[in-house]
């Protein structure tokens, strides 16, 4: 059981690492479309942080997010990413169980 939990934790951490690496990409402009880590951080905050909070608190966080540096954005996003990586462990365990059953 410990080995399965370790495997699930590793898959969860890989998910977290890939997502963080996408968010760390520098921003660049291609024909008027901004690509890179900034839009990914903005999408993540809009989808998983601001949408789940009460309106008054969400509006104050949106103002903070829009007026802060990249470091401030990370202070807002990092705890949520950590919780998501922990929540991803059961899905990782389920995926490992499916792969074991097929072999």
Domain residue ranges of the chain, discontinuous segments joined by +: 2-102
Which is more confidently placed, 20 or 64?
64
The confidence score (pLDDT) of residue 2 equals 62
pTM: 0.64
The confidence score (pLDDT) of residue 8 equals 65
Other Cβ atoms less than 10 A from the Cβ of 12: the count is 20
DSSP labels, 64-100:
HHHHS-HHHHHHHHHHHHHHHHHHHHHHHHHHHHHHH
Query: For the residues 40-64, what does the mean pLDDT come to?
Result: 86
Residue 41: is it exposed, middle or buried by C-beta count within 10 angstroms (0-12/13-18/19+)? buried
Averaged pLDDT score across all residues of the chain: 81
For tokens 């370790």, the residue is 6
């Amino acid at each position: 059981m410990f080995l399965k939990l370790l495997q699930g934790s590793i898959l969860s951490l890989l998910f977290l690492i890939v997502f963080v690496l996408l968010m760390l990409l520098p921003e660049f402009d291609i024909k008027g479309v901004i690509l890179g880590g900034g839009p990914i951080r903005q999408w993540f905050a809009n989808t998983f942080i601001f949408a789940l909070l009460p309106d008054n608190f969400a509006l104050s966080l949106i103002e903070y997010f829009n007026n802060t540096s990249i470091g401030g954005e990370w202070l807002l996003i990092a705890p949520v990413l950590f919780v998501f990586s922990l929540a991803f462990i059961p899905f990782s365990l389920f995926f490992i169980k499916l792969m074991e059953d097929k072999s």
